[in-house]
A and B are shown apart, each in its own frame.
Chain A
Amino acid sequence: MVAIDDEMEFTKAIDQFFSVRGYEVHVALTGTSGIELVDYHNPDVVLVDLKLPGMDGDQVLQHVRRTHPQTKVIVITAYNDGGKTRDRLLSLGAFAHFDKPVSSLRELAETVKRAVTTHP
Chain B
Amino acid sequence: MSVYSIAPLISALIFIGLGLFVLVSNRRSLTNVMFVLMCGTSFGWQISWTVLFSLPNPTLADMVVRIGYSSIIFIPIYHFHLFASFANRVREERPMILVSYVMGLVFLLLLWTTGSFIDGHHTYYWGYYPKAGLLHPVYLGLVNVLAFRLTYLLIIELRRPGLPPQRYQQVKYALIGFLFYFMVVSDFLVNYGVAFYPLGFIPGIISFGIFGYAIFRHHLLDIEVVIKRTVVFAGLVGSVVAVVSLVAFVSQDVLVHFVQIPKWLSNVFAAAIIAALYGPLRDWLTNVTDRYLFQKKYDYKDLLRKFTDEIIVGIKDLKQLVQTTVATLTETVKLDSCSLLLLNPDTRKYELVAAKGLNGQQLELEEQEPFITFLRETHEPIGRDGELGKVRFPRAVTDRLEQLRARLCLPLHIHQDLIGVLCLGKKKSDEEFTKEDLEDLRTVAKTLAIAVANAQQAVELAKTQAEAAQKEKLAVIGTLSAGINHEICNPLGIVKAQCEAFLLDVEDGILIGKSAQDLLDRTTTIMRGALKQIDRATAITQKLSNFAKPIKEATAQSVSIVQEIEEVLLLVGYDLKLEKIDVMKDIQPDLPPIVADRRQLQEVLFNIIRNAGQAIKPPGTIWVRAHTQGNDQVRVEIADTGGGIPPDKLGKIYDPFFTTKEPGKGTGLGLFIVRQIVERNKGRISLESTVGKGTTFFLDFPATKAVPQTASAGAS
Which of A's residues lie within 8 Å of B, judged by CB? 7, 9-10, 13-14, 16-17, 20-21, 51, 53-54, 56, 78, 100-102, 104-106, 109
Stretch at the interface among B494-502, B604-612, B628-636, B643-651: B494-502
Q: Which of B481-500 contact A (CB under 8 A)?
A: 482, 485-486, 489-490, 492-494, 496-498, 500
Known: A7-B494, A53-B578. A16 touches B529 (CB 8 A): no
Closest to B495 in A: A101
A53 and B583 CA atoms in complex are apart in Å by 13
Which A residues are CB-close (under 8 A) to B485?
78
Chain B residues with CB under 8 Å of A53's CB are: 577-578, 580
Secondary structure of the A contact surface, majority rule: loop
A-side contacts of B497, CB under 8 Å: 10, 13-14, 17, 101-102, 105
Beyond the given pairs A9-B529, A17-B504, A102-B497, 9 more chain A to chain B contacts, judged by CB atoms under 8 angstroms and listed by A's residue number, are A7-B493, A7-B494, A9-B494, A10-B494, A13-B501, A20-B510, A101-B489, A102-B493, A105-B496
Q: What chain B residues lie within 8 Å of A20 (beta carbons)?
A: 505, 510
**B533 contacts A by Cβ under 8 Å:** yes
Please name the residue on chain A nearest to B482 by beta carbon.
A51
B489, B533, B577 interface centre (most CB from chain A within 10 Å): B489
Q: Is B387 an interface residue (CB 8 A)?
A: no
How far in angstroms is the closest Cβ of chain A from B533? 7
Report whether A100 and B490 are in contact in the complex, using a CB–CB cutoff of 8 Å: yes
Contact (Cβ within 8 A) B501 A105: yes
Which B residues are in CB contact (< 8 Å) with A21? Answer: 508, 510
| Bound Cα distance A13, B525 (Å) | 11
Query: What is the chain B residue whose CB lies nearest that of A54?
Result: B580
Pull 15 A–B residue pairs with CB atoms less than 8 Å apart, ordered by A: A7-B490, A9-B494, A10-B493, A10-B494, A14-B497, A16-B501, A21-B508, A56-B578, A78-B486, A78-B490, A78-B493, A101-B497, A106-B500, A106-B504, A109-B504
The docked-state distance in angstroms from the alpha carbon of A16 to that of B529 is: 14
List A contacts of B493 (CB < 8 A): 7, 10, 78, 100-102
Determine the distance from Cα of A56 to Cα of B580 in the docked complex, in whole angstroms: 10
The answer to whether A78 touches B496, judged by C-beta atoms less than 8 angstroms apart, is: no
Taking the closest CB of chain A, its distance from the CB of B386, in whole angstroms, is 80
Number of residues from B at the complex interface, CB < 8 A: 23
Whole-angstrom distance between the alpha carbons of A20 and B518 in the complex?
14
Q: For A16, list chain B residues within 8 Å (CB).
A: 501
Q: A51-B482, A78-B486 are in contact. Are A102 and B504 (CB under 8 A)?
A: no
Residues from chain B with a CB closer than 8 A to the CB of A54 are 580
Which residues of B have CB within 8 Å of A78?
Answer: 485-486, 489-490, 493
Q: Which residues of A contact B504 (CB under 8 A)?
A: 17, 105-106, 109
A14 to B501, CA, bound (A): 8
3 closest cross-chain pairs (CB), A and B: A101-B493, A105-B500, A17-B501
Q: How far is the CA of A51 from the CA of B486 in the complex (A)?
A: 9
Chain B residues with Cβ below 8 Å from A51 are 482, 486, 578
**Bound Cα distance from A54 to B498, whole angstroms:** 26
Report Cα–Cα, A103/B590, bound state, in Å.
Answer: 47
- C-alpha spacing A21/B510, complex, angstroms: 8
Asked if A9 contacts B533 (CB within 8 A), the reply is yes
Across the interface, name the chain A residue whose C-beta is closest to B522. A16
Q: Looking across the interface, which residue of chain A has its beta carbon closest to that of B532?
A: A9
Measured CB to CB, the closest approach of chain A to B610, in angstroms, equals 18
With A13-B501, A17-B501, A109-B504 known as contacts, the answer to whether A102 contacts B578 (CB < 8 A) is no
The answer to whether B501 touches A101 (Cβ under 8 A) is: no
A23 shortest CB reach to chain B, Å: 13
Most buried by A among B486, B490, B508, B510: B490
A9 nearest CB across to chain B (Å): 5
Name the CB-closest residue of B to A7: B490
Do B510 and A101 have beta carbons less than 8 Å apart?
A: no
Nearest CB on A from B648, distance (A): 36
Find residues 121-135 in chain B having any chain A CB closer than 8 Å to their own CB. Answer: none
CB distance from A71 to the nearest CB of B (A): 23
Give A17 to B507 CA distance when docked, in angstroms.
13
Residues 392 to 441 of chain B near chain A (Cβ within 8 Å): none
Asked if A101 meets B578 with Cβ closer than 8 Å, knowing A13-B498, A14-B497, A17-B501, the reply is no
In the complex, what residues of A have CB within 8 A of residue B486's CB?
Answer: 51, 78
A42 vs B532: C-alpha distance in the bound complex, in angstroms? Answer: 34
Q: What residues on B are CB-neighbors of A10 within 8 Å?
A: 490, 493-494, 497
Please give, as numbers and ranges, the residues of chain B lying within 8 Å of A101 by CB-CB distance: 489, 492-493, 496-497
Closest to A101 in B: B493
How many angstroms between the C-alpha atoms of A28 and B496 in the bound complex?
A: 20
A37 to B462, CA, bound (A): 58
Residue of B nearest to A55 (CB): B580
CB <8 Å contact, B494 and A13? yes
| Residues of chain B from 523 to 562 with CB closer than 8 A to chain A in the complex | 529, 532-533
Q: Who on chain A is nearest to B500 by CB?
A: A105
Question: What separation, in Å, do the CA atoms of A108 and B486 have in the docked complex?
Answer: 20
Which residue in B489, B501, B578, B580 is a CB contact (below 8 Å) of A100?
Answer: B489
B295–chain A nearest beta-carbon distance, Å? 79
- Taking CB atoms, residues of chain A closer than 8 Å to B489 are 78, 100-101
